[in-house]
Amino acid sequence: PAPAQSGAADAQGWGPPPPELLGPARFALEMYNRGRAAGTRAVLGAVRGRVRRAGHGSLYSLEATLEEPPCNDPTVCQLPVSRKTLLCSFEVLDELGKHMLLRRDCGPVVTKVTDDGNEALNSGLPLLTKDPLSQDFSVKMASIFKNFVTTYNRTYQTKEEAQWRLSVFASNMVRAQKIQALDHGTAQYGVTKFSDLTEEEFRTIYLNPLLREVPGKKMHLAKSIGDP
Amino acid sequence: APPEWDWRKNGAVTKVKDQGMCGSCWAFSVTGNVEGQWFLNRGTLLSLSEQELLDCDKMDKACMGGLPSNAYSAIKNLGGLETEDDYSYQGHMQACNFSAEKAKVYINDSVELSQNEQKLAAWLAKKGPISVAINAFGMQFYRHGIAHPLRPLCSPWLIDHAVLIVGYGNRSEVPFWAIKNSWGTDWGEKGYYYLHRGSGSCGVNTMASSAVVN
């Protein structure tokens, strides 16, 4: 594995967990095995990932292989499974030494990229199809995107643009999920009329960076209510 | 301050508007505030022109952004605001076409408000909707409910969107600000955004201001 950069284990290759990722990786495994009896717990395999630091917290995005133990107990699993390898992605927030599992996605390891004949999807989602996400995820995403196009009456000039917007839409769905995980109010995030815009486009078109860049005219302070 | 307040129920808020593909949120935040001030001090609710600010407020940058404090000053110097009907919104900058004779409202001054959210609530309940500026983190995908992003992700130092607070209250004991946005009624809760109150969430208390109408 590539040596960890100081202060950031960024975009590591697969291999035993680098020291920086060991803590959150073990915490994620502990959460995964919670409630399981001894002998039925999964074991941590290879780990890779990166860390983003902000304020007092660090957000670890990890990908790890987990080895499920053989399962011969018919009451636990219908078919005897000798050993199953899962590929999981975890998001772990470490705030002042306290870990919190924000997201967990696990699925069987996908050994090859399936070609299901849906070019718009596959070519538009190069990253995703390489992810361990199941095929029905892609089909579901395509139908959600189709609903979006109908609901908000979207038109795209070319097939290429449609493919590009589909891939932006799909990655925005993942972003919305992350924002959802990191909100401790009651808000719901998901598909909106801006879901086919990249973050850059949205910022440039709809937001107003001047607000933080330029001090406005000085105004005097209003009296508080009830102030004699 | 009363436990809850909503100027939409008291006739001080016009319908939700749509800034289109333009960074003119500052103009909508300010006209929304002036609409409320004119209603509360002169008794008439008028829908006022953002396009006039885009075209004629030379201190600000139309679709590239602007500041409420500059906009108040521009309204004062121009001599008032025309109505939406008289000077309709185009969503991009044009030559200034303001005429003082058509101005239906004027303002005398503008003030900066406290950063204490309890004082802000008291001010709002007594004086009217407040222009504020927030960090828009998460708003691209907001659908409904009370937003309360983790503080490191919605820093009060990265303010990038101006909106209008029209009320406040509690939903299942979660305190909120009711915020009128300018992205149309097909975004958020019929055009409104609900943000956690009392924790300085997304910098909501850092740039509160209002026009003054004598």
* Inter-chain CB proximity A224 and B123 less than 8 Å: yes
Q: Minimal CA–CA distance to A90: which of A106, A72, A70, A104?
A: A104
Encode pLDDT of B65-123 as tens digits. 999 999 999 999 999 999 999 999 999 999 999 999 999 999 999 999 999 999 999 99
Q: What is the pLDDT of residue B15?
A: 98
Residue B31 backbone dihedrals phi, psi, to 5 degrees = -65, -35
CA separation for the pair B105, B89 (Å, rounded): 17
Residue A125 CA to its chain's centroid (Å) = 15
Q: Annotated catalytic, B181?
A: yes
Contact A188 B174 (CB under 8 A): no
Cβ contacts of B38 within 8 Å, gap of 6 or more: B44, B45, B46, B48, B105, B213
> Cβ separation of A222 and B1 shorter than 8 Å?
no
Do residues B54 and B78 make contact, with C-beta atoms less than 8 angstroms apart?
A: no
Q: How confident is the model at residue A227 (pLDDT cuts 50, 70, 90)?
A: low
pLDDT value at position A64? 87
Answer for the pair A69, A61: CB distance below 8 angstroms, yes or no: no
Residue B197 to residue A122: CA distance in whole angstroms: 44
Between these two residues, A40 and A175, which has the higher pLDDT value? A175
Distance from CA of A75 to the nearest CA of B (A): 43
* Cβ count near A99 (within 10 Å): 18
Residue with more model confidence, B212 or A134? B212
Mean pLDDT of A8-15: 51
Q: What angle do CA A191, A189, A121 make, to 5 degrees?
A: 35
The Cα–Cα gap between B84 and B2 comes to 33
pLDDT exceeds cutoff 70 at A113? no
B158 secondary structure, DSSP code: -
For residue A5, what pLDDT is reported? 41
Distance from the B144 Cα atom to the nearest Cα atom in chain A, whole angstroms: 5
Can you tell me the distance from the alpha carbon of A147 to that of A120, in angstroms, rounded to the nearest whole number? Answer: 16
Determine which one of B22, B70, B161, B202 is catalytic: B161
Residue B84 φ/ψ region, left for φ over 0, alpha for ψ in the -120 to 50 degree band, beta for the rest: alpha
pLDDT-above-70 percentage for chain A: 74
Which chain B residues contact residue A179 at CB under 8 A?
137-138, 141, 149
pLDDT confidence band for A71 (50 / 70 / 90): low
Instruction: Determine the distance from the C-alpha atom of residue A44 to the mean position of all C-alpha atoms in its chain, rounded to a whole number.
Output: 20
Q: Which of A23-32, A40-49, B77-86 has the lowest mean pLDDT?
A: A40-49
A8 has pLDDT over 50? no
If pLDDT is split at 50, 70 and 90, which confidence band does A83 have? low
**CA–CA min distance A113, chain B (Å):** 30
**pLDDT of A3:** 41
Quickly state the pLDDT bin for A22 (edges 50, 70, 90): confident
Inter-CA distances, B58 with A124, B29, B66, B130, Å: 44, 17, 10, 23
Per-residue pLDDT band at A220 (split at 50, 70, 90): very high
Contacts of B196 (CB under 8 A, 6+ apart): A185, B146, B147, B148, B174, B175, B176, B177
pLDDT value for A101: 82
Confidence bin at A6 (pLDDT 50/70/90): very low
pLDDT at position A88:
87
Mean pLDDT on A68-81 = 57
Residue A223 has pLDDT above 80, yes or no: yes
| pLDDT value, residue B95 | 96
Long-range contact pairs involving A43-47 (C-beta distance under 8 Å, separation at least 24): A43/A67, A43/A69, A44/A17, A45/A85, A46/A14, A46/A15, A46/A16, A47/A12, A47/A14, A47/A15, A47/A16, A47/A17, A47/A18, A47/A21
Q: Residue B109 has what pLDDT?
A: 96
Q: Is the pLDDT of residue A92 over 70?
A: yes
pLDDT band at B127 (very low <50, low <70, confident <90, very high): very high
Q: What ipTM is given for this predicted complex?
A: 0.95
Per residue in A157-173, pLDDT (tens digit) is 999 999 999 999 999 99
Average per-residue pLDDT for chain B:
97
* Between residues B126 and A80, the one the model is more confident about: B126
| Distance between CA atoms of residues A166 and A121, nearest Å | 8
The DSSP secondary-structure symbol of B64 reads: G
Q: pLDDT value at position B89?
A: 97
Residues of A in contact with B65 (CB under 8 A): 208-211
Helices B25-42, B68-78: crossing angle, 10 deg rounding: 60
pLDDT tens figures, B175-204: 999 999 999 999 999 999 999 999 999 999
Q: How many contacts (CB atoms, under 8 Å) link A and B?
A: 166
